[in-house]
């Protein structure tokens, strides 16, 4: 018996495997060895060449014009900075990666079906879920972040860990149909987010759940079912037991330690001082060209290395938007605002718990919101995931195979 596989099916399988390999390397790069990042760059370069050879890059001349322009916005000021300040291959590749990763996601999703993409989501989801018990193991042996109670698991920093779990939280509603299994996974994810100690992730989770519940009530015409009552009652009983346990006291104490006196902490002083310093530098000379187009990739980091706010040798603004504004100027920020508007609109307009709606929730919570509190693009794992899925989000809308299925 001869099994015949069509050329298009073979291409889809190959692309899905390459995307999965890219995701696995990105997630594990900080855990295994930073040198793995070289393989990620090679893989991304190979995918771009592959898409060029098979003719899929033509999509960027249509729906991908946004990303093509975005790539120019980040690349042009960086190239000018390279000419005036000296060539750096590392900075150049970091810049190219920012532009290339969403284009890879766009090309992949535009020519694959939802069934194929779902397999890729599942691999990522299982990998993220595995990071939670490993994080608990870290905590149990006293190897948590900074030898304290904050867990970072595979990801090198608790904020990154919390951001990745936030993305997986919303992916749960799309991937897992059975409520009991989904409930167990969501509880594990929430515990992981709590143990990350990332205040930004806590706030993002609470706010997004509140907003989404309002949207869900407006979208759903069904009333409360018997299953809802059973699950709700079980959850209420568990909550009561927790409230009267020692774990509750420990949790409240932990939350207090993270929030109480936050405005007087070194972290807050550093972040607020960085905002004031970078803005003052931007507007001090009134260099209109730099204000509009920015100074290029790595410029904000270079600027921060020349001063001390509260922490000596701290070469980051700890705010992706502030860094983005300084590196890529007002035009760069216009692209970010346009992206946020598109993602926000889709939450309300897309089909309830559809692929695009859940992706937009994950990107907004795990990327857009938490980026106020750290430099997301400086972390290979979370930046690769967020940039890739932004491209996938836009490619899904006009996916050729999805339209054929419909």
* Per-residue pLDDT at 388: 94
Cβ–Cβ under 8 Å, residues 119 and 16: yes
What tokens does 280 get?
């003052």
Dist CA 200 CA 165 (whole Å)? 12
Dist CA 223 CA 4 (whole Å)? 49
What tokens does 128 get?
């993220």
Q: Where are the domains of the chain?
A: 7-220+266-405, 223-256
Which residue in 186, 195, 211 sits closest to 364, CA to CA?
211
* Per-residue pLDDT at 327: 92
Contacts of 364 (CB under 8 A, 6+ apart): 208, 340, 343, 344, 347
Contacts of 63 (CB under 8 A, 6+ apart): 106, 110, 394, 395, 397, 398
What tokens does 400 get?
């050729």
Distances (CA, A) of 206 to 29, 203, 241: 30, 5, 22
What tokens does 371 get?
């980026």
Dist CA 400 CA 397 (whole Å)? 9
What are the average pLDDT values for consecutive 10-residue runs of the chain, which has 406 residues? 64 87 86 78 87 74 79 89 79 88 89 87 93 86 68 86 92 89 90 84 84 68 50 52 50 53 63 82 80 89 82 80 91 91 81 82 89 88 93 78 47
Which residue in 363, 400, 355 sits closest to 62, CA to CA?
400
For the chain, state the CA radius of gyration: 22
Cβ–Cβ under 8 Å, residues 71 and 110: no
Cβ–Cβ under 8 Å, residues 366 and 376: no
* Per-residue pLDDT at 253: 54
Cβ–Cβ under 8 Å, residues 301 and 315: yes
pTM of the model: 0.84
* Per-residue pLDDT at 248: 52
Distances (CA, A) of 73 to 79, 80, 95, 177, 331: 11, 12, 10, 41, 7
* Per-residue pLDDT at 403: 45
Dist CA 24 CA 142 (whole Å)? 26
Dist CA 49 CA 43 (whole Å)? 10
Which residue in 299, 253, 290, 265 sits closest to 373, CA to CA?
265
């Amino acid at each position: 018996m001869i099994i015949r596989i069509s050329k298009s099916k073979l291409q889809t399988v190959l692309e899905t495997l390459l995307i999965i390999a890219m995701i696995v390397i990105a997630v594990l790069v900080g855990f295994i060895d930073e040198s793995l990042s070289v393989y990620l760059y090679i893989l991304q370069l190979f995918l771009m060449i592959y898409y060029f050879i098979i003719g899929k890059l033509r999509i960027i001349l249509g729906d991908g014009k946004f990303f093509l322009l975005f790539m120019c916005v980040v690349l042009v000021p960086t190239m000018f900075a390279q000419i005036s300040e000296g060539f750096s291959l590392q900075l150049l590749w970091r810049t190219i990666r920012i532009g290339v990763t969403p284009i890879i996601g766009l090309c992949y999703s535009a020519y694959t079906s939802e069934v194929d993409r779902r397999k890729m989501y599942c691999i990522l989801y299982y990998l993220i879920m595995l990071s939670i018990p490993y994080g608990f193991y870290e905590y149990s042996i006293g190897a948590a972040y900074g030898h304290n109670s904050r867990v970072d698991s595979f990801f090198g920093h608790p904020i990154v860990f919390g951001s990745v779990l936030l993305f997986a939280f919303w992916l749960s509603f799309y991937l897992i149909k059975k409520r009991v299994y989904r409930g167990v996974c969501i509880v594990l994810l929430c515990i992981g987010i709590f143990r990350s100690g990332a205040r930004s992730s806590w706030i993002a989770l609470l706010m997004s759940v509140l907003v989404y519940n309002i949207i869900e009530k407006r979208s759903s015409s069904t009333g409360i079912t018997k299953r809802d009552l059973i699950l709700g009652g079980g959850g209420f009983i568990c909550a009561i037991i927790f409230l009267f346990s020692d774990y509750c006291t420990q949790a409240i104490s932990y939350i207090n330690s993270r929030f109480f006196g936050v405005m007087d902490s070194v972290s807050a002083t550093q972040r607020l001082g960085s905002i004031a310093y970078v803005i003052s530098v931007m507007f001090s000379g009134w260099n209109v060209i730099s204000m509009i187009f920015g100074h290029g990739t790595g410029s904000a980091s270079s600027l921060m290395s020349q001063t001390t706010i509260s922490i000596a040798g701290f070469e980051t603004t700890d705010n992706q938007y502030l860094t983005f504004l300084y590196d890529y100027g007002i035009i760069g920020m216009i692209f970010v605002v346009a992206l946020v508007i598109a993602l926000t609109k889709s939450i309300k307009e897309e089909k309830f718990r559809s692929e695009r709606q859940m992706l937009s929730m994950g990107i907004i919570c795990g990327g857009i919101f938490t980026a106020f509190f750290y430099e997301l693009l400086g972390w290979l794992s979370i930046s690769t995931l967020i940039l890739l899925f932004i491209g996938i989000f836009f490619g899904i809308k006009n996916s050729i195979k999805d339209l054929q299925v419909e």
